[in-house]
Structure 1
């Protein structure tokens, strides 16, 4: 299908400017064409027949896709849909320089493939043991990747099915993800334990692959569709009431599976049905209500809203309520919570300079809370903010919401590898 931009969605924008202070690139550069309404104006020009210039493609590439503008927009402009449509056009029509093509080939040949990421863990573990002085010797973007990487942890085997503890309240599938599975296996283990403790049979198909989120957010629609079909085949006949996701970007994309595969007659109906079952981890637990007792967890926590959880999925109160339900835990809010940390999938790898600026801003705001822990619901945010804190010379421990709940339910000390 010929890539196209929906003219009706473009016309919804009234250019009021409410989006400007929430847009990370506009905050950084103050450039109109690097704001949502500026990019929508460029989309309008493309619809009018203007050529896609390298400059215009650069403005579209610079968008983090954080969706903060969607939250701020009083006119309900579907900017997320528009930027995804436009990026398909960019990928189709914009010839990138070979170094950029090579970098993108490396990124998309690695990140959506859990087995390849698992192979990478060996060299990365060796690098981390040899120490930080090697960082300056690594070429180009490899130094960026190394700086972002969390400490390599051993794999945590998960059963194909984990039975509910006590009365069964639901049967749920669990997405294990790509980066989450490779670099945060403890988060997946904590997620499964909490779901079981809260009365869920947890179905964890061992052969599941990438959901396609990184690809669809980068305009690689056909690639994303291939990954999405695999997810539909994996979970469609699993007999689940809900598909639980513990990574914000993945959950956002999976909730739009029906749109991605709408033109595929073999998958459209099945994809739409599965999309209707997708729920974030905190969203599901908020709906079920607590069943497992919480033990005291004396800790101060700064909660960071992952963009694709707060802005794209509208899930803000549920994680906070789960954390507030833990005895002894003190929840602290972060200044400018709507501003992206600069992770945005692989945006921080493709744009390391501005990503570091955004990471430094977020790290400063996190450290200003004085909290002992930074808690969020996305692996990219954990890596990006952690790197920003280290670059600032600060220290703060990081955890996923599921790890905090797991520690409280089990009555154990909260640790990064809980």
Structure 2
């Protein structure tokens, strides 16, 4: 069965017992859960930055309510919605169980349907969404981008400020691009070492696959060393995370259907990118109104696991060798708040002999990456990145561990601005170094 194009839409069904998914009635129902207590305020990154009520979850919910009652989507209202990172820290903090994650996604879909953005902003958004979800396009960009970085032209362009004058978003894209090396290609199947304990599918991802291929290679190796047959389906594409979080619902649904098809033959889908895993676990909501896909979406959501979550469930078998390094662990928002995966990565790291984990101050405040946020809201993202980098540096750790490619790029850029010499790795890369006995030189002397 071929995947629908991103432009296609899905029929929605309604139920007499509850409002249909994504309907105005569902929105109004969810809005009524907020009692405006204010527990969300100190957890909201934009409220922490500016102290503005309308840039807090409580304030944005008030604006959503105003729009539901007939207030049109004007520029100022949309700006407050656009400034939200969608980090879900407020969901964790809320004592009333307000589903702000669902509210902001429905509101952003409404914005995309009913609000006309300025031409330059539309052009930037189209560039982002016609590039990053498509791995072949990212792959075509790798060669020229690598040559650009190796030539030193990147430093000249940044000093000139040329891109900043053309577009702050383009300048942010250029600054955030990680140093590119060779890109190893994973085979379609990696056999378990020793007795097989499980068979899993692995999401290769878009940005993860092309900008951080070593993370995927380490993921496959660790899973294999822990006794898993690993399948990396060639038919997979973007999971739809960026589109879903930006309110591009039809596009997200098309990506989701393709992902569901690619992984229907495996028992567990292992994901090493926090934003992707979070979105795949929410396919049940994204496709709930599609009679042909709802059950299949629910099944995939149930089978999806973050790699740290899955390894914790599986339990250790391979020998952990000493790795004498101090690490600061960063909680990616869509791992800690959206998926509630907090202890598992720390437990995996704690199981490595001679490795010391140090906690980062204000761990629940977003680093400013948030999918495409650091491209579309570069000033606010930069402030948040600088705060996070200062807290990372304050730990005195030699290595920062993060589990999301956006976080890695965002914090790496902020650390560079501080002149901080701290290597960055994914949780599975640290575990891989321990299982293979590579020692601290795998990260500290040559970087990561």
Kindly report which structure 2 residues correspond to 1:279-298, keeping only aligned pairs within 5 A, or say none. 279-298=305-324
Q: Which of 384, 388, 393 pairs up with 2:419?
A: 393
- 8 Å CA contact 2:44–2:56 kept in 1: the answer is yes
Alignment match, 2:289: 263
Task: Tell me the alpha carbon deviations over residues 37-64 of structure 1, each in whole angstroms, 9 at most, x when there is no partner.
Answer: 1000111111111211111111111100
Q: Which of 1, 4, 7 pairs up with 2:28?
A: 7
Structure 1 unaligned runs (5+)? Answer: none
Residue 202 (structure 1) aligned with residue 211 (structure 2) = no
State the SS of the aligned residue for 1:408: helix
Q: CA RMSD in A?
A: 1.3
Kindly report which structure 2 residues correspond to 1:122-141, keeping only aligned pairs within 5 A, or say none. 122-131=143-152, 132-135=155-158, 136-138=161-163, 139-140=166-167, 141=169
Q: Taking structure 2 as the reference length, what is the TM-score of the superposition?
A: 0.91
Residue 246 (structure 1) aligned with residue 272 (structure 2) = yes
Q: Which of 259, 265, 272 pairs up with 2:298?
A: 272
Residues in 1 aligned to 2:127 and 2:222: alpha-carbon distance in whole angstroms: 35
Deviation at 1:8, TM superposition (A): 1.2
Kindly report which structure 2 residues correspond to 1:151-162, keeping only aligned pairs within 5 A, or say none. 151-162=179-190
Alignment match, 2:433: 407
Alignment match, 1:29: 50
> Which segment is superposed worse, 254-263 or 322-331?
254-263
Task: Tell me the alpha carbon deviations over residues 243-283 of structure 1, each in whole angstroms, 9 at most, x when there is no partner.
Answer: 00000000000001111112222211111111100000000
Residues in 1 aligned to 2:392 and 2:156: alpha-carbon distance in whole angstroms: 26
Residues in 2 aligned to 1:366 and 1:105: alpha-carbon distance in whole angstroms: 34
Residues in 1 aligned to 2:302 and 2:61: alpha-carbon distance in whole angstroms: 29
Residues in 2 aligned to 1:307 and 1:123: alpha-carbon distance in whole angstroms: 32
Residue 334 (structure 1) aligned with residue 360 (structure 2) = yes
Alignment match, 2:390: 364
State the SS of the aligned residue for 2:322: coil
Q: Aligned in 2, Cα 1:269/1:417: closer, same or farther, shift over 3 Å?
A: farther
State the SS of the aligned residue for 1:225: helix
Deviation at 1:417, TM superposition (A): 7.8
Q: Which of 115, 120, 129 pairs up with 1:108?
A: 129
Residues in 2 aligned to 1:317 and 1:332: alpha-carbon distance in whole angstroms: 14
- 8 Å CA contact 1:211–1:250 kept in 2: the answer is yes
> Which segment is superposed worse, 292-301 or 5-14?
5-14
- 8 Å CA contact 2:203–2:270 kept in 1: the answer is yes
Residues in 1 aligned to 2:420 and 2:260: alpha-carbon distance in whole angstroms: 43
Residues in 2 aligned to 1:150 and 1:254: alpha-carbon distance in whole angstroms: 25
Residues in 1 aligned to 2:235 and 2:398: alpha-carbon distance in whole angstroms: 37
Residues in 1 aligned to 2:181 and 2:282: alpha-carbon distance in whole angstroms: 32
- 8 Å CA contact 2:109–2:247 kept in 1: the answer is yes
- 8 Å CA contact 1:3–1:89 kept in 2: the answer is no
Residues in 2 aligned to 1:242 and 1:180: alpha-carbon distance in whole angstroms: 19
Q: Taking structure 1 as the reference length, what is the TM-score of the superposition?
A: 0.97
Deviation at 1:3, TM superposition (A): 5.7
- 8 Å CA contact 2:423–2:447 kept in 1: the answer is no
- 8 Å CA contact 1:186–1:417 kept in 2: the answer is no
Residues in 2 aligned to 1:106 and 1:235: alpha-carbon distance in whole angstroms: 28
Deviation at 1:192, TM superposition (A): 0.4
Alignment match, 1:309: 335
Residues in 1 aligned to 2:64 and 2:190: alpha-carbon distance in whole angstroms: 48
Residues in 2 aligned to 1:333 and 1:106: alpha-carbon distance in whole angstroms: 37
Q: Aligned in 2, Cα 1:284/1:417: closer, same or farther, shift over 3 Å?
A: farther
State the SS of the aligned residue for 2:346: helix
Alignment match, 1:321: 347
Residues in 2 aligned to 1:6 and 1:137: alpha-carbon distance in whole angstroms: 43
Alignment match, 1:234: 262
Residues in 1 aligned to 2:419 and 2:352: alpha-carbon distance in whole angstroms: 30
